[in-house]
Each structure stands twice: as structure tokens, then as C-alpha cells.
Structure 1
Amino acid sequence: MKRMSIFRPGLFKGKVAIVTGGGSGIGKAITEELVTLGCRVVIASRNEDKLKKASQEMDPKGQSVFAKVCNIRKEDQVKTLVSQTVNELGRIDYLVNNGGGQFPSPVADMSLKGWNAVVETNLTGTFLMCREVYEQWMCENGGVIVNIIADMFRGFPMMAHTGAARSAVDNLTKSLAVEWAEKGVRVNAIAPGGSIYSSTAAKNYGDVNIFERTIPGLPTKRLGTTQEVASATSFLLSPGASFISGATLRVDGGGSLYSPLIWQIPEHENLPAYKWTYSPTPEEDTAEEESSSPKAKM
């Protein structure tokens, strides 16, 4: 079966993107959407086995998804990733800085090593990727960068390290949008809420119910999907967002704005989740496909 995007087919035909952390969770959903729209995508992370598995799953023929091992905290590895992409695929139109990581802990219990690891990955890694893509390609050819941050607008208790780093990336996004505008580079950010369900994240946090506990604080009264972040990313990369730069788009179902002390929202099902639809391949039976495939709910 072929995954279909809400955006027009071929929107990113002939384009090349780098998606860090593109082998799982939100990054994988973004990669799938871009590939569906005709883009060739380099996915990068430290875990070679995960990258190869994801690449094979998304692109069995090896024509659209290319796995590259890279620790974004290491300057030499970032330089190599970018140069290999340019040499092998000929261009870099888009950069999606999705790679990152954190762990739950109160500040009083954080070690300096743990703090540095999170800040270096989420902030320094993003800086290195932006700078190298700009220096090696976009300063002469233009392009679009989207930084995936987090809902840290009211502080981030239990994850102050990533809250501080993501807030810094939000500010970095604004600075780069101004500094690089004359070179034809747009830079924006997306802040997914903590309510975007990802089995990978749930496993990493060691708590399968960590997402479910956020539902009472959401105006949507449901969790978000990784596909909803992917479609928002595709919009910011697209020509439809050509006059948007330096902005941060919150994909959180209004959770960062909701205060039950002021306004009570009852349980409801009036804001259904967006799901990618499917269309049959020539070998599949159309009638059966139409009756069994998940449909988009808008």
C-alpha cells in the first residue's frame, strides 16, 4: 500500500532533505511524509541498526531513504554527514532538526554530565547542523530549515535540561531567520506538545502511560499523532509557507494555553485525529482496500 499525504502529490519532487532522528517517532513520520511527496531523504542518528531497519521499512528499494550514522554532538561527524549528502545526492533543500533526547529528573538530582549531554544534543547539535548545511549548501542556494523543539513555554518541570535547550533553539531559530534571509533561507520551529504519542518515546521514558496522563489537560481530549507533526512540518517546508520565517508553530492541541482553573472543557470527540489515508497499488483489490484502509479525519 502507498501512503498518501493531504498535500498534493509530487510537492517535493526532486528535492533532498536531511532529517536527524529520522528513524523513529516524529522523525520517522516526517520522513515518510516527505518521501510520499517525492523527496529523497537522508535520515541520521547514532544507532546504525535502527536507521537501517527504518530505511528498509520505508523504502525497500533504497531509492528515496538513505541512512547515515551521525552523532550530531560531534562537529566532524556533522561536517561529514552534510558533505556526503551534497556529494551523493547533489543538493540539500531542507533540513529538519528532529534529533534530540532527554530523561525525566528533578533539577536537584541532575548531574553535570546528564545536563551537558541533553544540552549538547538538543542545542549544540541543532546549531552544528544548521551551520554546516548553511555553509556547505544553503548560503549559495537557499533552503528551508525546521527545528523540532518542545512545549516548554510554561517551564518544563522534571525536564528542565531539555526545556532550557529547546527554549534556546526557539531563540536561535529567530536569529537565523534574520541573519540568513538575504541568502534565501527560511528558518522556523515546531513545538510538539508532550501529548504527541510515540511508542518510541514511551519506551525510552520507561512509562507506557506517560502520554495518557496528559489527556485531561488537553482541549482536544485526545493525544496527538506523529503524522500531525509531520503534516505541519511539510507545510512549513512548502512554498505555501514562503512568507513565514522565524516563527514557532505549536502542534499541541491548544494544551499550552489551557487552564482548567479558568475554563473547563468536558470530554468530547469533536477534534478527531488526522491519519494518513492509503490508496491501493495496481496489484491490490480496490474495493477491499477502500473498505479496510484507515481514512483521514479532518
Structure 2
Amino acid sequence: MSAYRSVFAPGTFAGQVVIVTGGGSGIGRCTAHELAALGAHVVLIGRKLEKLHTVATEIAADGGRATFHSCDIRKEDDVADVVQAIVVAHGRIDGLVNNAGGQYIAKAEAIKGKGWEAVVASNLTGGFYMARECFTQAMKERGGAIVNIVADMWGSMPGMAHSGAARAGMMNLTETLALEWARHGVRVNAVAPGYIASSGMDHYPPEAGEQLRSMAATVPLGRFGTEAETSAAIVFLLSAASSFITGSVVRVDGGRPNARGGWGDFTARADTQQRDAVKPFDGFHRYRAPKVVQGERAE
């Protein structure tokens, strides 16, 4: 097995402790691998211990360091307890990647209160709890960097009103926390992934497969993004290279929000998609494309 091919210098995060929520799969798993490859001690948080254990084992096999905790970030007291446990174990928290979240496809009129509350809690409230506890228990005295993962919600998110509202809320929260916490040496930014070929795609129902596969054609760069391209943006915002960046969002979406109906077809051709400036970057050596993208049915 080869090593993670990060564009960042080895040892960039040496001695640092970075939390990655939702670290058991997809973008969270990829980011955890890259941070560990760059010297961080990564703390994985999620609800399913088996998935977290698998990722931690992968990282250890690749020569990195990772520990994990089971936690439902929607539960305020549980978040406070797990952050306290991390501070006790490591004495510091240098970075937080607020990646945990999720949603389901439904028209607005079909979304019930319970479903709405669950999605908002996963994508907004839980992220707030994590950020607040990392700040009050560790970063307020030492400083740190927080990266909130949002989404391509610019304009609207038809079929996912609950997620769109929560992600937009997280963007405002990012800007607000960046202002309030700047005096403590804490930076807060966001990364907004667009259509990324991540394992999360296989969690949607089989009937959504055709729609999911067709989305790449709506992206000006003409393809899906990779987990590694998203991770690179996250890692940059955690690194010292972004020390004068706070309250900002980095879109990793191939220009998708810029493509408006009626403006013509600006999609890159297959030959131009392989030019050096825009061809896919996949530094994650353990990456496997989601089955739905390959035209297969997810189990």
C-alpha cells in the first residue's frame, strides 16, 4: 500500500491534535488520513465505533496516529464529555473539522418535523456544540483553527430544503464565530464541497442513481470532484499558510454555482478535462469510487 500523496510538506501538523467528526467514511475519512500523514494525531468522532476503528487501523497501518470516540454530536452533554476526554488525554486541541452531517432526498412538502429537526441537528446544531466546546475547553487559551463543512447550497437546494437551510445557517455561524473568536487567536472557516464522488453517494436510494450520475454534466469542469481535492482545501484552512484567513468559505465545486440556465453550455470537453490545471487530483491511496458513479448498485 502506497502512502497518502499530499501536496503539503511532511510534518506540517507535527505535534498537533486535530478532531475530525464523521471521520468513519467519505470526506472525513480522507481528511483524517491526510492530516495523519502530515504528522497530526487525529481524533475521529462518529456514532459507529466499527467504522471509526477501521479508519484508525488504516491510519496506524500507514504509519500515522489516530484515536477515536463514539459520540452523537446532536447531544449537547455528550459533546461536552467527549471534548473533555480529548483534552484530558492530549492536553490540547489544535484543530476541528466539523464534517459530520447528513440528509435525505425529499420535497419540502413531504418533510415532517422529526426529519427536519434531525437534519438541522446533524448539520448545524451538532457542529455548533463541537465548535463551542473545543473553543471553551481548549482553544480559548491556546488558539486554534476550525473548518466547518457545508455544501453547494448557493441559491437553493431543491429536494433538500432541510439541509440547505442548515448549511446556510452554518455559513452564518462560521462568519459570526470568526468575528467573536478572532481575539483569542481562533480562526473559523468553511469548505463547501460540490458534487464529490464520495462514499456518501451510495447511501441514497437506488432510484436516485441515474440522477446522481448525471450531475457531473452540469459542472463547468465536466466531472465529479474527488475526496482528496476536498481534503486539500480543508487541510489548507487548518494550516499556517491560511493564518490571515478567517470567516471565509472555499468552494470545491468545479464552478457549479456559476452555471445558470440560459447562459449556454460552458462545460469542459473530455480532452480539456485532462489538462494539468483542472485534471482530477486523487492523493488518497485508499480511495475507491462510489458504486453509484460506476453504474453499480450499492449494497
Say whether residues 1:164 and 2:165 are aligned partners.
Answer: yes
Say whether residues 1:185 and 2:186 are aligned partners.
Answer: yes
* 1:277 Cα deviation from its structure 2 partner: 7.4
Partner SS, residue 4 of structure 1:
coil
TM-score, scaled to structure 1: 0.89
Tell me which residue corresponds to 1:273: 280
Q: How does 1:1-298 map to 2 (within 5 A)?
A: 1-60=2-61, 64-193=65-194, 195-206=195-206, 207-266=208-267, 267-268=269-270, 269=273, 270=275, 271-276=278-283
Label 1:226 to 1:63 Cα distance change in 2 as closer, same or farther (>3 A). closer
Label 1:277 to 1:85 Cα distance change in 2 as closer, same or farther (>3 A). closer
CA distance in 2, matches of 1:34, 1:84: 21
Tell me which residue corresponds to 1:294: none
Tell me which residue corresponds to 1:289: none
Question: What are the superposed Cα offsets for residues 9-67 of structure 1, whole Å, 9 maximum, x if unpaired?
Answer: 10000000000001100101110110110001111111111111222122248961111
CA distance in 1, matches of 2:209, 2:176: 37
CA distance in 2, matches of 1:5, 1:142: 25
Identity rate of aligned residues, in percent? 44
Q: Give 4+ residue runs of structure 1 displaced > 6 Å after superposition.
A: none
Structure 1 residue identity aligned to 2:196 = I
Q: Structure 1 residues 256-265 or 231-240, which shifts more?
A: 256-265
Q: Structure 1 residues 51-60 or 205-214, which shifts more?
A: 205-214
Structure 2 residue identity aligned to 1:115 = W
Label 1:19 to 1:210 Cα distance change in 2 as closer, same or farther (>3 A). farther
Structure 1, unaligned runs of 5 or more: 279-298
Partner SS, residue 68 of structure 1:
strand
Structure 2, unaligned runs of 5 or more: 286-299
CA distance in 1, matches of 2:243, 2:48: 34
Q: Structure 1 residues 111-120 or 256-265, which shifts more?
A: 256-265
* 1:262 Cα deviation from its structure 2 partner: 1.0
Contact 2:30 2:284 in 1 (8 A): no
Contact 1:152 1:163 in 2 (8 A): yes
CA distance in 2, matches of 1:241, 1:22: 23
Contact 2:45 2:70 in 1 (8 A): yes
Question: What are the superposed Cα offsets for residues 162-217 of structure 1, whole Å, 9 maximum, x if unpaired?
Answer: 00000000000000000000000000001001x10112332344444443211121
CA distance in 2, matches of 1:81, 1:44: 9
Question: What are the superposed Cα offsets for residues 72-126 of structure 1, whole Å, 9 maximum, x if unpaired?
Answer: 0001110111111111122100000000011000011111000000011111001
Partner SS, residue 76 of structure 1:
helix
TM-score, scaled to structure 2: 0.89
Label 1:221 to 1:66 Cα distance change in 2 as closer, same or farther (>3 A). same
Partner SS, residue 3 of structure 1:
coil
Structure 1 residue identity aligned to 2:11 = G
CA distance in 1, matches of 2:28, 2:147: 12
Q: Structure 1 residues 69-78 or 57-66, which shifts more?
A: 57-66
Partner SS, residue 251 of structure 2:
strand
Root mean square deviation of aligned Cα: 1.6
Partner SS, residue 59 of structure 1:
helix
Question: What are the superposed Cα offsets for residues 243-279 of structure 1, whole Å, 9 maximum, x if unpaired?
Answer: 100001111010011125213225232321012177x
